[in-house]
Structure 1
C-alpha cells in the first residue's frame, strides 16, 4: 500500500491532518499544472483551490486503478478546462493570445542575444496560442515528463490518440516557428 493510499484511507476515516498532508504534498504540482492553462497566477490559485475541494468531495470515488497523482491531475485538468470555458470562449482567447504572441516574441528577440533563450521564449509564446487542451497535452508530456499512458488518462484520451495529438501539435508548433522565423528574417532584410 502506497503512502497516498494510506493517507486516503485516513482521510476517509475522518483524519483532517492526513488530507492536509496530501494537499501539502501535491499543491505546488497542481498549481504549476493549472498555471500552464490559466493566464494569471490568481486564476490558477483559485482553480487549484477548486481542485482540492473537488478532490475532498470525490475522494471516496478513487478506485486505485491509476496512481493518485494521475487521478488528481485528471481532476485538475477538468477543473482548469471548465474554468476557462466559463470565463471566455476558446476562440476569443486564441485570437487574443495570437496577437499577444506576435508582440511577445518580438520583444523576446530584442531582449536577448542568446539564440537558445530566444528560441525557448518563442516556443513558450507559441504555446500560449494553443487551445488549452493542446497546451495541457504538451505541458504534461514534455514539461511534467509524464508517461504517455498517464497523459492519456488525465486528458481522457486513448494512448494512441494522445500520441497522434501530440505529434500534430508539434507539427503545428514547428510550422508556426518556421513562419515566425521567416517573418523575422524578412523584417531584418527590409530594415537594412
Structure 2
C-alpha cells in the first residue's frame, strides 16, 4: 500500500517520492546491474540510467505486475543495452586500431569479483563470473537474476516476460554450459 502511494506521488511529479524510491531500491538495482555488467563504475552509471528511465517512464507503469518486477525489467534491459553499446565501441576501436589510428581497444577487467563474495572464494568467483559473461544473453540474465539476485523462477519469468518452464530451461542450459566452461579450472584445483 505504501509503495502504491509512493508510485502515485511519483506519477504526480513529486521529487521527494523519486528520492524515496531511489533510496529504497538503489541497492537492489545496483546489485542486479553489477551482476550483469561486472564492473563497479559501469554499474554505478547504469544504475543512475535505470533511475532516470524510471522517472521518465513512471506514467507507463500500469501496476499489472509488481513495481519491483517492472524495475528489474528496466535494470536488465538497460544493462544489456549498455553491454551491447560497449561491445560496439570495442569493435570500432579495434577496427580503427587496425587502420593506423592510435585508439586502443578497451578491455573488460578480467578480475571482476562481486563485492558480496567471501575473500577465500574470490578466485573461484572470478572464474565463475568470467564464465557467466560468456553465456548467451538469455541464459546469463536468467542465471544472474536467480542465482545472484535470488529471485524465484516465477519472479525471473515475470522480469523476462516469459514462462516459468522457459526460465527453468534457460537456467538448466546455463548450468550445463557453466559446467563445461569451468570443468578444466576445477579439475586443476583439486
2:156 to 147, 151, 154: 151
Unaligned stretches of 5+ in structure 2?
Answer: 92-106, 113-118
Q: What is the match of residue 14 of structure 1?
A: 13
Unaligned stretches of 5+ in structure 1?
Answer: 105-111
How many residues matched? 169
Q: TM-score, normalised by structure 2?
A: 0.76
* Alpha-carbon shift at residue 125 of structure 1 (Å): 3.6
Q: Is the 8 A contact 1:81 1:133 kept in 2?
A: no
RMSD after superposition? 2.9
Task: Name the one with the larger helix percent.
Answer: 1
Give the 3-state SS of the residue equivalent to 1:65 in structure 2: coil
Q: Is residue 76 of structure 1 aligned with residue 75 of structure 2?
A: yes
Q: What stretches of structure 1 move > 3 A for 4+ residues in a row?
A: 116-122
Give runs of aligned pairs for residues 105-116 of structure 1, distance below 5 A.
Answer: none
Q: Is the 8 A contact 1:36 1:136 kept in 2?
A: no
Q: Distance in 2 between matches of 1:14 and 1:117?
A: 43
Q: Is the 8 A contact 2:46 2:78 kept in 1?
A: yes
Q: Is residue 35 of structure 1 aligned with residue 40 of structure 2?
A: no
The structure number with the bigger radius of gyration is 1
2:177 to 154, 172, 178: 172
* Alpha-carbon shift at residue 72 of structure 1 (Å): 0.4
Q: 1:23 to 1:117 in 2, by over 3 A?
A: closer
